[in-house]
Structure 1
Amino acid sequence: MTAVPITDIKGVGTALSLKLAKLGIHSLQDLLFHLPIRYQDRTRIRSLGSLQIGEEVLIEGELKLSDVVMGRRRSLLCRLQDGTGQITLRFFHFNAAQKNALRPGVRLRAFGEVRPGGAGLEMVHPEYQVMSSGQTLAAPDQALTPVYPMTEGLTQVRMRNLVRQALAQLSSHDLPDYLPESLRQSRALPELQSALRYLHQPPPNADQQALLAGRHPAQRRLALEELLAHHLSLSRVRQQIQQQGSWAMPEAPELSQTFLQQLPFELTAAQQRVIAEIQQDLQRPIPMLRLVQGDVGSGKTLVAALAAVQVIAAGYQVAVMAPTEILAEQHYQNFSQWFATLNVDVAWLAGKVKGKQRKHQLEQIASGEAAVVVGTHALFQEEVAFARLALVVIDEQHRFGVHQRLSLREKGADGIRAPHQLIMTATPIPRTLTMSAYADLDCSIIDELPPGRTPVNTLVIADTRREEVIERVKQACTQGRQAYWVCTLIEESEALQCQAAEVTAANLSEQLPNLRIGLVHGRMKPAEKAAVMAEFKSANIDLLVATTVIEVGVDVPNASLMIIENPERLGLAQLHQLRGRVGRGSVESFCVLMYHPPLSKQGRERLAVMRETTDGFRIAEKDLQLRGPGEVLGTRQTGMMQFRIADLERDADLLSEVHLIAQPLHQHPKRVEALINRWMGSSESYAQV
C-alpha cells in the first residue's frame, strides 16, 4: 500500500492531493496511518441538566426563544429546553432562512462544545438538525465519530469519506505488519489491520472510555510502533555518525591540573563524575554524542572547559556555540579568563564582530592559532573555516534550528571523521523525553549546586499589591543589592513587549527617583544590550527592567531580587530559567511572581509548583504534564516530535519496552527502514544532528 498513490481513491484529483500532501499523505498507507486525534461521542443524547463545561455533546430539545441581539457583534441567540435544564445556542454567522427555521416551538438536535456564557451555558455555532412537525430524527450514531488532524480546505466529513474508501481497499492490498508475531502474542497486541479498522471506525460495543483516554489496546499497539520507529530512526542516526569515526584524545592530567589550580573553588562531586564520563568518551576513536543536563548555575560551562582542555592538549580545536550574543559573550569572557594562564588563544565570533577584527579572527580560526572559538550562529557561516575542529560544544541546543547544528558538525568532518559533540542544557528534560527525543545521545546529569549557593525564596503575589513590591525593590537596592524587573506580555508581538518594558521602566523611574534604572529588550541592537548588561554587572545599575531576553546565562552574583510580572503567561521551564538569574551569590535571594487575578486552575497549579520547589527536574515533569512535549523541548520550530498517536506522558511506560524490542530488530535493516518510512516519512533528516 506504500506504493499505491492517493490519487487512486475516487474523488482525489490534483487539488485535493496537494492539500493531503500538506498532512504528509501521499499514499494509501499514509492515509490509513493518518489517525484520529480524538473522538466525538454522538452515540447518546445528553439531558441539558447534566452538561458540564468543556464537554462535546449531542443534545435535543425545544426552542423557547429566538432573538437577534446587538452586542459587540450581532448574533442570533436561541434558548433550548428539554425539561431538565436549558442552554443557549449562539450564531454569529446566519442568514434569513436560518433565522426563520430556528423559531420558537421547533424541536432540534445539536452537537457542539459546552461553554460558559453570559446567561448560563451555551454552544457557539453547533451542528444542528431541525425536526419538521411529525418527523423523528434517526437514532444517534452507533459508534464514536473520529476527529482527524486537518489542514485548510479539508473538512472532517471529506476526510472520513476518504478513510472509509481506503479501509475498503485494505483487504485487497498488502499492508505488512512489521512487529514480530511472537512480540504481539507475548504482549497481547492486536494485529495491524484490525487495529487500524478499529481506530478509524470504532464498533458500537467499543470501550469508549479507553478510546477517549487513548488507552485502548489498538491505540497502544500503534503508539508502541510509532515510538519504536522514532527510536530506531535516532539509533540509526547515531550509528551513521559513529561509523564515521573521530579523533581519540588521550587524557591530559598535567594541563587539567594546571587549569583546576587557578579556580577559586573546588569542583562538586557531580561535576567530577560528568567530567570523567566525557574524558572517557573523548579517548575513544568514535564521535562522542553526549547531553549534559544541569540546573541553572550547576557549573556546566566549567565541565565544557575541561573537555576543551583534553582536546587542546591533543592539538585540536574546540567550537563553543551559544544561542544569544549575551550568553556567547559571557562564555567568551569565562573561557578567555580560564585559558589565559594556559597561554591558549580564544577567538570570538558574533554578528557584531566586523571589519578588520572579523578578518583577524577568521584568520586565527583557519590557521588553528585560536584553539577555542566561541560564538553565536555566526560560526555556521560559509566563510568560517577551522583548521582542526574536533569538539563542538552546543549550549541550549534546542534553541538552534536543525540545519544550523548540522552545518557546524560538517565544519569539523574531514570527510572521514566527525567531531565529538557535547550538548548542554539548563532546561531539565524529563526522563521520558530524554529516552525518546534524545535517544541518540548519552546522558549526564549535574544534580548538585556548587557550595555557597543559596536557594531562592519564591513568593506569589497579586498585582493589586504592586506598591508593596516596589517598596521591597527600593529597600533591597538601598542596601546595596541589585534587582531585575521582568515584563512579559501575552502578545507574540516583540514591539508590544518592548513598549511594555519601556513604559514600566519610565513608571518605575518616577516612583524610585533615587535608583539607577536600566532597560534591555529584544529590539535593542546587540551592542546596546551588551553595554547595559555590562553596566548592570559592574553595579552601575541598581534595577534592570527587561523582557525575557535575560533568561539564559546572565551571571550577576549581587542581584538578589527578581520581580516577574504576569508569570502565568510563561511556561514553567522559562520561569525556572528566569529565577535562576538570582541566588548566584551567597546572599538570601527572592523571586516575586506578580500575577494578574483571577488565575485559571492551571495558572494556580503552575505557580504553586514554582513556590514549592527549585528542583528543575520536578518542574520539568510538571511542565510536560501541563504543556506537552512540543512546548517543553521548544521543538515547535524544529519540526521534531510531532507524534501522530503516541503521547510521551501517557505512553511513558512503553518507552522501556521500545528499548527492548529495538535490539533484535536491528538485525533486520529492511524492516527497520520500512517502519521508519511508515511513521516518519522524510522527516527523519532532522535527526542528522
Structure 2
Amino acid sequence: MVNRTEAADEPLESMPVLALKGVGEAMAEKLATLGIRTLQDVLFHLPFRYQDRTRLSKIGTLTPGTEAVINAEVMISDVVIRQRRSLMVRLNDGTGAIMLRFFHFSQKQVSQFERGARVQCFGEVRRGPGMLEMVHPEYRVLRSDATDESALDNTLTPFYHVTEGVQQATLRKLTDQALALLERRDLRDYLPLALTADTGLPDLTSALRIVHRPPPGSDVNALIEGLHPAHRRLALEELIAHRLGLRLLRVDAQAKQAPIIRPAGQLPGSLRSSLPFRLTYAQDRVLLDILNDMGSGEPMLRLVQGDVGSGKTVVAALAAAQVVECGHQVAMMAPTEILAEQHMINFSAWFEPLGIDVAWLTGKLRAAQRRATIEAVAMGQKQIVVGTHALFQKDVEFLDLGLAIIDEQHRFGVHQRMALRNKGAREDMQPHQLIMTATPIPRTLAMTAYADLEVSVIDELPPGRKPVTTVALDNVRRADVVERVGAAIDEGRQVYWVCTLIEESESLQAEAAEDTQETLQQLLPRHRIALVHGRMKPREKETVMNAFKERQIDLLIATTVIEVGVDVPNASLMIIENAERLGLSQLHQLRGRVGRGSAQSSCVLLYQSPLSNNARERLDIMRETNDGFVIAEKDLSLRGAGEVLGTRQTGLAEFRIAQLGRDDDLLDDVSLMADRLLVSYAESVQGLIRRWIGEEKKDYGGV
C-alpha cells in the first residue's frame, strides 16, 4: 500500500493514483484498465465531451434537442399509471411550462416535488404530448433563500471515457484532486517558452486546467473537436515527443554496423539483362538509393512506397542480388500465403536460372519439408528465403542474414517485424532492412510514424499502363453488370468478381462468394468460372490462381484474398460487391489487380442503397482519381492513422491526444522544435519521451 505522506513528495509524473483520496487497490486496478496509473495519467485522460451547466435558460426559450439548466416552481406533481407507472412533475418559471417525467423513482422523490417547491434541473429537452418535457433530468431542490445563480456550476461539466466500476463522478473527483495538486506544484513543462512563444498556445499547466474545467463561455465545439488552443498545446507536445523518439532511434541505429554491400555487379547485371522489360527511371532512382544505403556500413532502414503495379518487387529482387553476390542471405517476408506465393514464383523465375536457390518457408509446410528448409537456411545453403510470419519463428536461424525485405509492412505487428530483424543481429551488427508498401504514406504519416526511415517513392508506372476507369453502380443494376462481364469475356478478356464474405450471413448485406459463383454460373453458362477464398488450402488456391493466370478461367469469384500479390495482365475488368463496406486503401489495392496489361481496364463498384455520407464520399474519391497518394490522404482524414496503417500495433505511433488528420498543420513546427530541443535543450528530451511514449515502447520504432 502506498503511504500518502511519502507519495506527496513525489513529482506528479510518477505519483501513483493510490495517493489520491478514494483510491484503494481495487479502484487502482480498475483505473489501470483506462491507462491511468499516476497523477500525470489522470491529467492526460481528457474529456471527450462537455455539458454547459453554467447558465440558466428560460423555459420559454427552450427548443427540442438541446440541453439546458432551468430553475422553476413546482405547479403540480402526480404518479400516473398508463402504459407504465411514472412520476410527472409540471414546472413553471413565468415564461413557460415544462413537464419532468420519471419512470424510476422513490417515495422520497415524490414527496420532494411538493407544490411551490423551487427546483433546478438539467437535462435534454424533448417534445412531449402537449408541452416540452425532460425525461429523468438531474435535479436539486433549492433552499428558499437560494438565488437563481447560486447552484450553477462555475465550469463546463466534463465527460470522460469510463470502465466498469469507474463512473463519471469518480473521474471528476480524481481530476479535481489532481488539478488541486497542480495548483501547488506544476507538472514539469518540457517545452521552453523560447520555443512556444510564437505559437500563441498556453503553457502546459494552463492547458490542462482548461481542458478539464473549461470556464463559462468556452467554445464547446472547439473543445470537443480538439481544436481549442489548450488541446493544440497538448497535441503539439505529444507530436514532438514522438518525433524525438524516432529521431533517437535513428541515431541509435546509425551507431550500429551492417554488412557493407559493394558487389562487382555480375549477378545483378545478369538478373537485369534477363528481365523482359526495362526498369523505369523511378525504379532506377530508388535502386540507387538502396545501393548507397547498403554500401555505407550503417544499417539501411528504407521505406519504398509505390502505387500498385509500380514495380517494387523487381527493385527488391535487384537489391537482393547485390546482397547475395556479397555472400550474405536475404529474407523476404509477406503477410499472407497468397502474396508470399506470388513473391516465391517471381523470385524463383528470376534467380534459379542464375544458380541461386530460393527457399520457401510458411506455416503450411509439412514437418519434414520444414525441417529440411530450416536446416538448409541455418547452414547457408539457401541464399534467399521467401515466406510468411514463419520466418521469425524461434527455430529459424540464418547463417548470415544481410537483408530483410518486408512487404506490405503495415499488415505485420511490431513484434513480428522486430523478431525478423533480430534474426540477423549479432553484437553490434544488424541486417539491412528494406520495407515496401503499396499503400502510399501521406505526408502527415511520413513526418510522424515513419520519421526515422529514409523514404523512396516509385512515382512512375511502367510504360503502356493506362489508368483504370472506375464507375459506381447501385446493386439494382446488377443485371447490366453481368451482361457487361459476359461481353468482356467474349472479347477475350478476364474478369475478377470480388465478394466480401465466404458464406451467407443474415446479419450482413453482402452476397456470399459461394452463392455468387452459383448464380453467375447459371447466368453465364458458356464461360469458365472458378472460386478462390481465404479458407481454401494453399495448394487449392495456388491451383486456381495459376489456372486463372494461364487463361484457363474466364471469371474468378474471389474474396479480398486477392487484394495483394496477384499479377494477371489479361484481367482487365473488376467487379467489387458491397464496395461501400470497404475502406479506400483496400478498394484501391483491389482495383490495382487490373490495369496491369496494355488493355484499357475498368472497375465497377457495386453498392447497396442507401449510402451513408462517408460511404458516398469514399466511392466518389475512387471514381475521381487513380492517384494512390491522394487516396491515402483522404483515407487518413476519414479513418485515422491507426486504421489506415495498422499503427495501433506499433506502440510508438499510437497517439493519446494528437490526431494526424486534424493536427497536420503543426508538423512543420514539430520538426523544427524537435531539432532545437536536441541541440539546445537536451535535458528535456528524455522527459518528453517518457511522458508520451514510455520506456517500454521505445524499441518498437527500430523496426
TM-score normalised by the chain length of structure 1:
0.88
Q: Which residue of 2 aligns with 1:676?
A: 689
CA separation of 1:285 and 1:85: change in aligned 2, threshold 3 A? farther
Aligned runs of 1:86-235 on 2, under 5 Å? 109=121, 111=123, 128-129=138-139, 141-173=153-185, 175-235=187-247
CA separation of 1:414 and 1:432: change in aligned 2, threshold 3 A? same
Q: Which residue of 2 aligns with 1:295?
A: 307
2:647 equivalent to 1:647:
no
Question: Which range is displaced more, 142-151 or 441-450?
Answer: 142-151
3-state DSSP class of the match of 1:250? Answer: coil
Q: Which residue of 2 aligns with 1:527?
A: 539
Mapped partners of 2:133, 2:499: distance in 1: 36
CA contact (8 A) 1:69 1:77 kept: no
Q: Which residue of 2 aligns with 1:342?
A: 354
Q: Which residue of 2 aligns with 1:317?
A: 329
Select which of 550, 563, 566 maps to 1:538. Answer: 550
Mapped partners of 1:523, 1:396: distance in 2: 21
CA separation of 1:503 and 1:637: change in aligned 2, threshold 3 A? farther
Deviation at 1:334, TM superposition (A): 0.7
Aligned runs of 1:79-90 on 2, under 5 Å? none
Deviation at 1:635, TM superposition (A): 2.7
CA contact (8 A) 1:112 1:126 kept: no
Paired letter, 2:546? A
CA separation of 1:58 and 1:132: change in aligned 2, threshold 3 A? same
Paired letter, 1:25? I
CA contact (8 A) 1:251 1:283 kept: no
Q: Which residue of 2 aligns with 1:620?
A: 632
Question: Which range is displaced more, 357-366 or 282-291?
Answer: 357-366
Question: Which range is displaced more, 242-251 or 342-351?
Answer: 242-251
CA separation of 1:469 and 1:334: change in aligned 2, threshold 3 A? same
Deviation at 1:360, TM superposition (A): 2.6
Query: In the TM superposition, what whole-angstrom CA distance separates every residue of 1:86-135 from its partner, at most 9, and x where no partner exists?
Result: 999999x95798999999x9999554599xx999xx99987544889999
CA contact (8 A) 1:252 1:309 kept: no
Mapped partners of 2:35, 2:458: distance in 1: 40
CA contact (8 A) 1:77 1:88 kept: no
Aligned runs of 1:441-480 on 2, under 5 Å? 441-480=453-492
Select which of 4, 24, 35 maps to 2:46. Answer: 35
Question: Which range is displaced more, 502-511 or 468-477?
Answer: 502-511
Q: Which residue of 2 aligns with 1:354?
A: 366
CA separation of 1:187 and 1:409: change in aligned 2, threshold 3 A? same
3-state DSSP class of the match of 1:519? Answer: strand
Query: In the TM superposition, what whole-angstrom CA distance separates every residue of 1:49-76 from its partner, at most 9, and x where no partner exists?
Result: 99798xx743769999999999xxx999
Q: Which residue of 2 aligns with 1:588?
A: 600
Q: Which residue of 2 aligns with 1:247?
A: 259
Mapped partners of 2:502, 2:690: distance in 1: 39
3-state DSSP class of the match of 2:435? Answer: strand
2:12 equivalent to 1:11:
no
Query: In the TM superposition, what whole-angstrom CA distance separates every residue of 1:550-609 from its partner, at most 9, and x where no partner exists?
Result: 111111111111111111111111111111111111111111111111112222111111
Unaligned runs of 5+ in 1: none
Deviation at 1:517, TM superposition (A): 1.9
Query: In the TM superposition, what whole-angstrom CA distance separates every residue of 1:635-664 from its partner, at most 9, and x where no partner exists?
Result: 344455332221212211211111111123
3-state DSSP class of the match of 2:448? Answer: helix
Mapped partners of 1:90, 1:522: distance in 2: 54
3-state DSSP class of the match of 1:11? Answer: coil
Deviation at 1:198, TM superposition (A): 1.8
CA contact (8 A) 1:573 1:620 kept: yes
3-state DSSP class of the match of 2:575? Answer: strand
CA separation of 1:112 and 1:343: change in aligned 2, threshold 3 A? farther
Mapped partners of 1:67, 1:259: distance in 2: 87
Mapped partners of 1:536, 1:142: distance in 2: 70
TM-score normalised by the chain length of structure 2:
0.87
3-state DSSP class of the match of 1:653? Answer: helix
Q: Which residue of 1 aligns with 2:3?
A: none
Mapped partners of 1:492, 1:200: distance in 2: 48
2:317 equivalent to 1:305:
yes
Mapped partners of 2:78, 2:525: distance in 1: 60
Identity %: 55
Mapped partners of 2:203, 2:351: distance in 1: 60
Mapped partners of 1:227, 1:636: distance in 2: 16
Q: Which residue of 2 aligns with 1:427?
A: 439
Deviation at 1:315, TM superposition (A): 0.9
Deviation at 1:499, TM superposition (A): 8.4
3-state DSSP class of the match of 1:344? Answer: coil
CA contact (8 A) 1:76 1:99 kept: no
Select which of 548, 556, 568 maps to 1:556. Answer: 568
Mapped partners of 2:522, 2:112: distance in 1: 58
Deviation at 1:490, TM superposition (A): 13
CA separation of 1:461 and 1:490: change in aligned 2, threshold 3 A? farther
CA contact (8 A) 2:376 2:382 kept: yes
CA separation of 1:125 and 1:390: change in aligned 2, threshold 3 A? farther
Mapped partners of 1:685, 1:446: distance in 2: 29
CA separation of 1:401 and 1:497: change in aligned 2, threshold 3 A? farther
- RMSD over aligned Cα atoms: 3.9
CA contact (8 A) 1:298 1:448 kept: yes
Mapped partners of 1:669, 1:492: distance in 2: 59
Deviation at 1:209, TM superposition (A): 4.9
Mapped partners of 1:331, 1:90: distance in 2: 67
Q: Which residue of 2 aligns with 1:22?
A: 33
CA contact (8 A) 2:358 2:382 kept: yes
CA separation of 1:591 and 1:169: change in aligned 2, threshold 3 A? same
Paired letter, 1:215? L
CA separation of 1:642 and 1:492: change in aligned 2, threshold 3 A? farther
CA separation of 1:156 and 1:420: change in aligned 2, threshold 3 A? same
CA contact (8 A) 2:53 2:122 kept: no
Deviation at 1:188, TM superposition (A): 3.7
Question: Which range is displaced more, 494-503 or 616-625?
Answer: 494-503
Mapped partners of 1:492, 1:162: distance in 2: 49
Q: Which residue of 2 aligns with 1:414?
A: 426
Deviation at 1:219, TM superposition (A): 1.9
CA contact (8 A) 2:79 2:88 kept: yes
Question: Which range is displaced more, 289-298 or 204-213?
Answer: 204-213
Q: Which residue of 2 aligns with 1:633?
A: 645
CA contact (8 A) 1:521 1:547 kept: yes
Q: Which residue of 1 aligns with 2:275?
A: 263
Mapped partners of 1:325, 1:443: distance in 2: 27
3-state DSSP class of the match of 1:169? Answer: helix
Q: Which residue of 2 aligns with 1:58?
A: 68
3-state DSSP class of the match of 1:146? Answer: strand
CA separation of 1:666 and 1:132: change in aligned 2, threshold 3 A? closer
Q: Which residue of 1 aligns with 2:615?
A: 603
Query: In the TM superposition, what whole-angstrom CA distance separates every residue of 1:303-355 from its partner, at most 9, and x where no partner exists?
Result: 11111121112111110000011100110111111113322111111112223
3-state DSSP class of the match of 2:184? Answer: coil
Question: Which range is displaced more, 395-404 or 508-517?
Answer: 508-517
2:376 equivalent to 1:364:
yes
Deviation at 1:178, TM superposition (A): 1.0
Mapped partners of 2:338, 2:60: distance in 1: 57
Mapped partners of 1:141, 1:496: distance in 2: 46
Mapped partners of 1:627, 1:496: distance in 2: 21
Deviation at 1:212, TM superposition (A): 3.7
